[in-house]
Chains A and B, each alone.
Chain A
Amino acid sequence: MRADFPLIFERSVPGRRGFGLPAPDVPSVPLEQLVPPGALRSRPPALPEVSELDVVRHYTQLSHRNFSIDEGFYPLGSCTMKYNPKLHEEVARLPGFARLHPYTPEELVQGALRLLWELGEELRELAGMDAVTFQPAAGAHGELVGLLMVRAYFASRGERRTRVIVPDSAHGTNPATAAMVGYEVVTVRSDSRGNLDLAALEEQLDHRTAALMLTNPNTLGLFEEHVDRIAERVHAVGAQMYLDGANFNAMVGVTRPGDQGFDVMHMNLHKTFSTPHGGGGPGAGVVAVKAHLEPFLPVPVVVREGDRYRLDFDRPQSIGRVRAFYGNFANLVRAYAYVRSLGAEGLRAVAEHAVLHANYVRARLAPYYEIPYPRVCKHEFVASGVRQKKRDGVTTKDIAKRLLDYGFHAPTVYFPLIVEEAIMVEPTETESLQTLDAFVEAMIAIDRECREDPEKVRTAPHTTPVGRLDEVRAARHPDLRWKPS
């Protein structure tokens, strides 16, 4: 294999140093008196030996081989790739936040605790819920917390419930989380309008059901039109309504999960609340609950007493901890800055424009790509590449790869599983009409290419730093690290 671009290890030259440290300023003592010789490292780690300039060049060049929101349009359905405001980076880096040790005594972290308290108040109002926890590091972590709380709730009532219901369109984290909490997963189909099939749900609802996990709008980008009736039925058997809040961007200020009948939800701050995705993380997942679930929140909980803020550890019914310390605080700072920047009107405008932009792109693409559910969508919609597959022998994967040549990140593909050759597009509210039109033009051009020059699409991408990669080889013969010779 040829390597066009070196690994940092391949830039290494023995003896190079990238960093200077002072000499010890304490009296010298033989090392063997401090650490038993048998405990000392026998071979140094094969870390790269490079200069600081080498490091700067290497990572700067790597950054040029990355696509980011700062660079271009990123219409990944369900990911909400909205603009990440630079203002947030500045405030998150303030030493009062970044240089704060988590075990600093309470009276000396009142600024941090007040920020958490106020963010909690704002999020509770947005969600229509009574209490929050910031412990989860991501949405899936939030799902874990939510389901653990549901489990604790039923245990406190002496009820043994064993099943969690998910729609067939559910994100993979939902059944995976249910399994981690020891629940059996039951899947219910969606109907022809893209809603959860009520009759099918009824068949599965009984006193074994702990919870129904719903995403709303669902992963087809459609609002669950019967959500209030669903909530009624679920509560009628004493089960809990869980909202996967990944698609909250479509609802802020328009309709609240608490009002829809949900008992517990998670929010992805790295989606709706603009904190950056960082190449895969860190995120922050907030869980919000109704009052009856509050006793089960993870410890500690931020409480206010007059004008003082405290961390409350005395919570006998808590599910415990899912991480050390309090949460992905630096991202909570960013989310707080976002909420304070937008306010009520700004947040409502987010949902309105997210939905407007998605419907606009859907309307413009409809003549060219099949839209399996021709309803008004919310902040995202699902198209299908079946027409191009049948007519031209070009798959959705090919179309996605060809979009890269046009300078866009591809939408989410092959999800949800219930749509063949799925293409899920979420423009977000921070994109301009010009960008949306450019994306539509590219998709139209690719459709034409499918008909006139299908091989070009099938072998795409052509202009990226590497071509299509052999994933089979990577899985058959895993090469997961560089090895020194």
Chain B
Amino acid sequence: MRYIPTTPEEREHMLRVIGVRSVEDLFADVPEAVRLRRPLRLRPALSDPEVVRLLRSLADHNGHADRLTCFAGAGAYDHFIPPAVWQLVGRGEFLTAYTPYQAEIMQGELQATYEYQTMVCELLGMEVANASMYDGASALGEAVVMARDLTRRDRVVLSQAVHPEYRQVVRTYTEPLGIRVVEWRHESGLTPPDPRAVDGSTAAVVVQHPNFFGCLEDVRAWAELAHGAGALLVVACADPLAFGLLEPPGTLGADIVAAEGQPLGNPLNFGGPYLGIVATREQFVRRMPGRLVGATVDRHGRRGFVLTLQTREQHIRREKATSNICTNEALNALAAAVYLSLLGPQGVRQVAELCVRKAHYLKSRIAELPGFHLAFPGPTFHEFVVRTPRSGEALVRALAREGFLGGVPLGRFYRGFRDALLVCVTESRTREEMDTFVAALERAVRRGRRAVGGRV
């Protein structure tokens, strides 16, 4: 039997020591009425080579980013991952370890997490960060609940320019707790600060920066507005590499940041596992969900690291816990730390700058194409919205046939945006790829016009 080392003789020996005749005796307390008395109807077991063959075949039936040059973002980004990241993170000592509850033999994981917490704070300009949550969307849900707990108010203003799936998750987390979420409309791709948005019952204002459309929100002004009304500012972020170049949310006045860490050394992986980053001010740390690693000393005065402030967590506080989270995304956080270590301050700046420059180039080239224009004025980071002469979905399909994942069609997320694409350019895209992409766009439109009725 696969992965079970026990031989029939060893089995007999164990049964004798236990004092029963057969393995069946060990299940005697399972009521007969619930015993499964037929074989499981599962697919036949495969040998290792057969498993590899099958999985390869399933993998081959996918249009991945080595086949379709990736111009899609929207919460999942094709940044270059230095090979050292997964060579290190994939080591069995990290991969097959458990949560570091026995600190003395897990100093590796604990120290790496302490370092990760530090790097996240530095990148986001915040004072304290937790050891990770599931993803950016659920991190945002938990951040909103945290803001409610801190202010004891139950109204939240949520910018419509926050990632649509993040907003859905915020609703799922807040609805059972009676927290009212008010969505604030975007105008021209932005949600500019509006005093009508906040009042004395507002726990938090939530904006994404750079937002879902790639545009840069006026975070500073929102911070002032929120604080003036006694509310907190929660900033969501789908690609924290932006802050290699841009002023980070902490410096702009954010009280809680909920970010997606996938862009930091984690593969696209068809949407998961990703990395939820939560960071906040020191004064709020006791209300922050998730694990925290702290530095301390051992009985010989040596520096060491432990999980700390655990009394916030479910295994101690139970129904009074700040969250129910137990398992997190530790390995993905480790990958982020290794990635940030390799890049350093100059590296993250360089990546961010390349993103901006390349995105600008593609933006200008597409804007020149007949039938296309930029949806929103104003500066963007590495994503931008293009109004298209054909439906976004049809265009993406046509572009796939030419070897591109052309962007994310916005029709299913925003009304009136059926003819629009969200296009992303990371540092991984070359000028040649972009020029070929533009030519493909042109062809796709010409072909579309020739289609019957002109509507595709």
Nearest Cβ in chain A — how far from B325, in angstroms?
6
Is there an interface contact between B138 and A47, defined as CB atoms closer than 8 Å?
no
Is there an interface contact between A98 and B267, defined as CB atoms closer than 8 Å?
yes
Smallest CB-CB separation from B332: which chain A residue? A282
Nearest Cβ in chain A — how far from B421, in angstroms?
11
Nearest Cβ in chain B — how far from A76, in angstroms?
6
User: Given A1-B301, A59-B338, A430-B4: A478 and B269 within 8 A (CB)?
Assistant: no
User: Given A100-B64, A179-B321: A363 and B19 within 8 A (CB)?
Assistant: yes
Complex alpha-carbon distance, A178 and B295, angstroms: 33
Chain A window 43-58, contacts with chain B (Cβ cutoff 8 Å), 1 for yes, 0 for no? 0111111101001101
Asked if B452 lies at the interface with its beta carbon under 8 angstroms from chain A, I say no
Number of A interface residues in the complex (CB < 8 A): 206
Is there an interface contact between A352 and B23, defined as CB atoms closer than 8 Å?
yes
The 10 lowest CB-CB distance pairs between A and B, nearest first, are: A96-B59, A343-B45, A325-B271, A111-B61, A278-B331, A70-B92, A280-B330, A108-B63, A282-B273, A102-B271
User: Given A87-B48, A97-B270: A19 and B303 within 8 A (CB)?
Assistant: no
User: Given A67-B106, A111-B61, A474-B306: A339 and B42 within 8 A (CB)?
Assistant: yes
Q: Which residues 249-287 of A have a CB within 8 angstroms of B? A: 253-256, 259-261, 268, 270, 274, 276-284
Nearest Cβ in chain A — how far from B45, in angstroms?
3
Is there an interface contact between A481 and B118, defined as CB atoms closer than 8 Å?
yes
| Chain B residues positioned under 8 Å from A199 (CB to CB) | none
Asked if A438 lies at the interface with its beta carbon under 8 angstroms from chain B, I say no
Interface-facing stretch out of B31-39, B193-201, B440-448: B31-39
Chain B window 203-245, contacts with chain A (Cβ cutoff 8 Å), 1 for yes, 0 for no? 0000000000000100000000000000000000000000111
Is there an interface contact between A47 and B107, defined as CB atoms closer than 8 Å?
no
Is there an interface contact between B343 and A47, defined as CB atoms closer than 8 Å?
yes
Asked if A442 lies at the interface with its beta carbon under 8 angstroms from chain B, I say no
User: Given A176-B314, A360-B18, A376-B29: A277 and B96 within 8 A (CB)?
Assistant: yes
Complex alpha-carbon distance, A18 and B83, angstroms: 12
Is there an interface contact between B3 and A39, defined as CB atoms closer than 8 Å?
no
Is there an interface contact between A2 and B82, defined as CB atoms closer than 8 Å?
no
Nearest Cβ in chain A — how far from B235, in angstroms?
14
Asked if B158 lies at the interface with its beta carbon under 8 angstroms from chain A, I say no
Chain A window 286-305, contacts with chain B (Cβ cutoff 8 Å), 1 for yes, 0 for no? 00000000000000000000
Complex alpha-carbon distance, A461 and B106, angstroms: 13
Complex alpha-carbon distance, A4 and B305, angstroms: 12
| Chain B residues positioned under 8 Å from A333 (CB to CB) | 55
> 24 A-B residue contacts at CB 8 Å?
A4-B302, A5-B111, A17-B346, A18-B341, A45-B348, A59-B89, A63-B88, A67-B106, A115-B55, A128-B36, A137-B273, A140-B314, A172-B317, A222-B29, A255-B27, A259-B36, A279-B100, A279-B109, A325-B165, A327-B271, A466-B300, A474-B296, A480-B128, A481-B128
Is there an interface contact between A100 and B306, defined as CB atoms closer than 8 Å?
no
Complex alpha-carbon distance, A461 and B291, angstroms: 24
Complex alpha-carbon distance, A69 and B11, angstroms: 23
Is there an interface contact between B128 and A466, defined as CB atoms closer than 8 Å?
no
Asked if A452 lies at the interface with its beta carbon under 8 angstroms from chain B, I say no
A27, A102, A268: most-surrounded residue (chain B CB, <10 A): A102
Is there an interface contact between A400 and B102, defined as CB atoms closer than 8 Å?
yes
Asked if B51 lies at the interface with its beta carbon under 8 angstroms from chain A, I say yes
Chain A window 138-175, contacts with chain B (Cβ cutoff 8 Å), 1 for yes, 0 for no? 11110110001001000000000000000000011101
Is there an interface contact between A278 and B330, defined as CB atoms closer than 8 Å?
yes
A348's partner among B40, B70, B145, B356 (CB-CB below 8 A) is: B40
Complex alpha-carbon distance, A71 and B338, angstroms: 22
Is there an interface contact between B350 and A341, defined as CB atoms closer than 8 Å?
no
Is there an interface contact between B98 and A76, defined as CB atoms closer than 8 Å?
yes
Smallest CB-CB separation from A407: which chain B residue? B105
Smallest CB-CB separation from A283: which chain B residue? B327
Size category, B interface? 35 or more
Is there an interface contact between B294 and A95, defined as CB atoms closer than 8 Å?
no
Asked if B17 lies at the interface with its beta carbon under 8 angstroms from chain A, I say yes
Given contacts A353-B6, A401-B104, 10 further A-B contacts (CB under 8 A): A29-B357, A39-B246, A45-B244, A62-B112, A91-B55, A101-B78, A280-B328, A363-B19, A469-B296, A479-B296
| Chain A residues positioned under 8 Å from B84 (CB to CB) | 18, 52, 55-56
B15, B78, B308, B315: most-surrounded residue (chain A CB, <10 A): B308
B4, B14, B46: most-surrounded residue (chain A CB, <10 A): B4
User: Given A100-B65, A276-B96, A470-B298: A320 and B74 within 8 A (CB)?
Assistant: no
Complex alpha-carbon distance, A327 and B270, angstroms: 9
| Chain A residues positioned under 8 Å from B311 (CB to CB) | 475
Q: Which residues 92-119 of B have a CB within 8 angstroms of A? A: 92-100, 102-109, 111-115, 117-119
Complex alpha-carbon distance, A172 and B142, angstroms: 18
Is there an interface contact between A52 and B302, defined as CB atoms closer than 8 Å?
no
Complex alpha-carbon distance, A274 and B348, angstroms: 35
User: Given A103-B408, A125-B40, A478-B285: A278 and B97 within 8 A (CB)?
Assistant: yes
Asked if A8 lies at the interface with its beta carbon under 8 angstroms from chain B, I say yes
Smallest CB-CB separation from A331: which chain B residue? B273
User: Given A49-B344, A479-B294: A69 and B96 within 8 A (CB)?
Assistant: yes
Asked if B183 lies at the interface with its beta carbon under 8 angstroms from chain A, I say no
Interface-facing stretch out of A223-231, A234-242, A387-395: A223-231
Asked if B368 lies at the interface with its beta carbon under 8 angstroms from chain A, I say no
| Chain B residues positioned under 8 Å from A227 (CB to CB) | 31, 34
| Chain B residues positioned under 8 Å from A474 (CB to CB) | 294-296, 306, 308
Asked if B402 lies at the interface with its beta carbon under 8 angstroms from chain A, I say no
Nearest Cβ in chain B — how far from A79, in angstroms?
6
Is there an interface contact between B111 and A340, defined as CB atoms closer than 8 Å?
no
B104's partner among A5, A48, A466 (CB-CB below 8 A) is: A466
Nearest Cβ in chain A — how far from B32, in angstroms?
10
Is there an interface contact between A337 and B55, defined as CB atoms closer than 8 Å?
yes
| Chain A residues positioned under 8 Å from B296 (CB to CB) | 469-471, 473-474, 479
Is there an interface contact between A19 and B343, defined as CB atoms closer than 8 Å?
yes
Nearest Cβ in chain A — how far from B418, in angstroms?
15
A101's partner among B65, B313, B344, B351 (CB-CB below 8 A) is: B65
